[in-house]
Amino acid sequence: MNRQGGDRLYFAAIDEAKLVVLAGELARTAPHEGVVTLQGTLGAGKTTLVRAFLRALGHAGAVRSPTYTLIEPYELGGRQIFHFDLYRLACAEELDEMGVRDYFGPDRLAFIEWPERGAGVLPDPDIEISLSYAGGEDCAARDVVLQALSMAGREWLARLLSSDNAQVIAPVSQACVQDMGGESGACP
């Protein structure tokens, strides 16, 4: 297995169980504040990852996709966690009207699905997570790329990389990424 240090981590063709392990390790190594954006088409697994992250921090209740509410707040592990789904956002200015800037800062962690809809209003992310269909018959495999975009994000990935559980899901080296299918096959 190759390990990829630095700004990027890749997980090739992982199933949902492994994605849940990855989300759990992200939770275990998470900083107290930060912004994570989630890229990927409909059904790629963005909400599934956030749900597993919240469960790993002890959230026992339902985790609904905030498709209509746009934001769901949680209080876990001494911090507030905000789960955004901006798919139905009419325009970025709507976020300003919602006072969205209060959702970022000390002891606040944000996960944002469809962040491009809030461009210009949202802060820069610490980590961008990209999920794509890896191809294959059952459409259950995802390629996942974690890209650190700040010092805090790089430190988070370093903690993740040094965790034993992350090694179980086997991050691969950058050289292998060219061979990853990405949005291929008959999957949606």
Ligand X SMILES: Nc1ncnc2c1ncn2[C@@H]1O[C@H](COP(=O)(O)OP(=O)(O)OP(=O)(O)O)[C@@H](O)[C@H]1O
Using CB under 5 A, list all residues that contact Mg ion.
46-47, 65, 113
Asked whether the beta carbons of 19 and 142 are under 8 A apart, the reply is yes
According to the binding rule CB under 6 A, does residue 113 interact with ligand X? yes
Return all residues near 2 (Cβ < 8 A) that are at least 6 apart: 171, 172, 173, 175, 176
Q: Which of 6, 43, 105, 185 binds ligand X (CB under 6 A)?
A: 43
Q: Which of 31, 59, 63, 65 binds ligand X (CB under 6 A)?
A: 65
Distance from C-alpha of 132 to C-alpha of 53, rounded to nearest angstrom: 19
Distance from C-alpha of 146 to C-alpha of 26, rounded to nearest angstrom: 10
- Output the CA torsion 170→175→178→180 (10° steps): -10
134-153 residues near ligand X, rule: CB under 6 A: 140-142
Q: Which of 7, 8, 16, 79 binds ligand X (CB under 6 A)?
A: 16
Please, which residue, 72 or 85, has the CB nearer to ligand X?
A: 85
The contact set with ligand X (CB under 6 A) reads 14-16, 19, 40, 42-48, 65, 85, 113, 140-142
